[in-house]
Chains A and B, each alone.
Chain A
Amino acid sequence: MGFLPFTLPFAELEVGQHLYWQLGNLKIHGQVFISSWVVLGALLALVVVGTRKMERDPRGVQNLLEFLWDYIRDMAREQIGEKAYRDWLPFIGTLFLFIFVSNWGGALVPWKLIHLPSGELGAPTADINTTVALALLVSLAYFYAGLSRKGFRYFEYYVEPTPIMLPFKIVEDFTKPLSLSFRLFGNILADELVVAVLAFLVPLVVPLPAMFLGLFTSAIQALIFATLAAYYIGEAVHEEHH
């Protein structure tokens, strides 16, 4: 996305300003990479610590991880169905954990203390490129799920129940990643902007309720993204019983 940065005089918000890294012919947004590496590192550390000494009676981090696993498994089983959910549990779980930790990391870690030459650190999911990449992964995943389970019979789904549905189903394949990515991107960016604007107007105390609301909505957005991904995959692998 070619964001042309121009600053508004009445709010010093660094939207559309990035720390550009040159990688071959590509210009990449460095601040997104830094914060996603931090998120990935935090998740890896959590999982390694939690599974290093496993006990029969889970305590501490292991307990947390088992709770998360149960939670994600129930969600995936509910959306994808008993037969296929096991194959897709890692994918759904990774999506959920990455988005959740990104959203909360963007809000809870004091990124402002680290000064970058341009742009600012924040939630990786507040950048449209991250969310589009995640949404396209979901698209690939459900096509792969449908094709690998049903072969070319997967395309029967497009003409069911009547062939009149064909154009709508084709359009749906494009609107699914569009709405997935815009929903996540817009919500997270909106949370950050609301907090930034309030902090700009009244620096103390007043932004706190907005921050808590932001934590709540970003947790729900992570859940929604994962639930929808599971639902799309479930739709693709679902067998019609005639």
Chain B
Amino acid sequence: MDSITSAASVVAAGLAVGLGAIGPGIGQGTAAGGAVEGIARQPEAEGKIRGTLLLSLAFMEALTIYGLVVALVLLFANPFAG
């Protein structure tokens, strides 16, 4: 693998995870904030809110993980390695 391809792959891997983390980060913050508000309003619903929150957080996390999968493919299974 020539050096320009590996350099581009490493930069792209970093960008894939970094950029992929922005959106889900904002989304998780919004969701957690909403959950805190819900618990403050209605403390008896905490169990249900927590369960739903964890499930939705994991869904958002999956989006970053897609970026991570792309990064891992670039680093460890690069199709352009030649």
Contact = CB atoms under 8 A, between A and B. Distances in A.
A227 B54 CA distance: 13
Interface residues of A, number: 25
Name B's interface SS: helix
A3 B62 contact: no
Contacts of A4: 77-79, 81
Task: Identify whether the interface residues of A are mostly helix, strand, loop, or mixed.
Answer: helix
Contacts of A2: 77
A94 interface: no
A177 to B, nearest CB: 14
Contact of A16 (B54, B59, B69, B76): B76
Interface stretch (A40-48, A80-88, A101-109, A183-191): A183-191
Given A6-B1, A224-B58, A185 B77 contact: no
A182 interface: yes
B72 A15 contact: yes
A198 B67 CA distance: 20
B3 to A, nearest CB: 13
A3 B75 CA distance: 11
A36 interface: no
Given A182-B66, A190-B65, A224 B59 contact: yes
Given A4-B78, A224-B59, A187 B1 contact: no
A186 B65 contact: yes
Interface of B: 1, 54-55, 58-59, 61-62, 65-66, 68-69, 72, 75-79, 81
Interface of A: 1-6, 8, 13, 15-16, 179, 182-183, 185-187, 189-190, 193, 217, 220-221, 223-224, 227
17 contacts: A1-B77, A3-B76, A4-B78, A6-B78, A8-B75, A8-B76, A15-B75, A15-B77, A182-B62, A187-B62, A189-B69, A190-B65, A217-B58, A217-B61, A220-B58, A223-B55, A227-B55
